[in-house]
Amino acid sequence: MGSHMLETVMGAVVLAVAGFFLYFAYEGSNVKSVDGYAITADFTNITGIGIGSDIRIGGIKVGVVESLELNKKTYAAVAHLRIQEGVKLPKDSSAAVQSAGLLGEKFIAIEPGGEDAELQEGDAITFTQASVSLEEMIGKFVFSSGGVDGQKDVESEEKSADEPSLELP
């Protein structure tokens, strides 16, 4: 009888610890819904952004990505964004997909514009910059025709152009 009571108490302790870790993970994940107004932004490439991704201004979270869809006419990726109620964005603000480090999570960075008129519920950010592909950048660097050797060739051509040429009749 005492053995069963010990197993029951240990099971309750394990469940309590698991519940604590779930609560801690939820609080630290910033997956909570944001109260505010909805706007959209069209991107040519939104790789790395998903539902719940952060929207930041100056590195501070001001909203979340609510949903993503494909515009069937323009084939642009449309991001539906939810911005905190107290954050008022000028109509000429821009949005860019950025990364929190070399291989870090991606987020949408908003650069506020200078216009007096503000974005309202249902408006769209028209100035956007697509996601940059790390693989594409590395490929361009590795397979580029320039580089150090290409620079040496340009310098030798410039020197030879400055020197007089000797032409024999």
Phi then psi dihedrals of residue 132, to 5 deg = -95, 130
Tell the residue number behind the tokens 């590395």, with chain if given: 138
What's the token pair of residue 131? Answer: 């996601």
Beta bridge partner(s), residue 65 = 81
* Number of CB atoms found within 10 A of residue 148's CB: 6
| Tens of each residue's pLDDT in the chain, 169 residues | 567 888 898 989 999 999 888 887 777 665 556 789 999 999 999 988 999 999 999 999 999 999 999 999 999 999 999 999 999 999 999 999 998 877 778 999 999 999 999 999 999 999 999 877 777 778 888 888 655 554 544 555 555 555 555 556 5
The C-alpha atoms of residue 149 and residue 169 are separated, in whole angstroms, by 35
User: Taking a C-beta distance cutoff of 8 angstroms, is the pair 64, 52 a contact?
Assistant: yes
Phi-psi region of 147 (alpha: psi -120 to 50; beta: other; left: phi over 0): left
- The whole-number pLDDT of residue 164 equals 55
Cα angle: 69, vertex 75, 80; to 5 degrees: 30
pLDDT at 148: 54
pTM of the model: 0.64
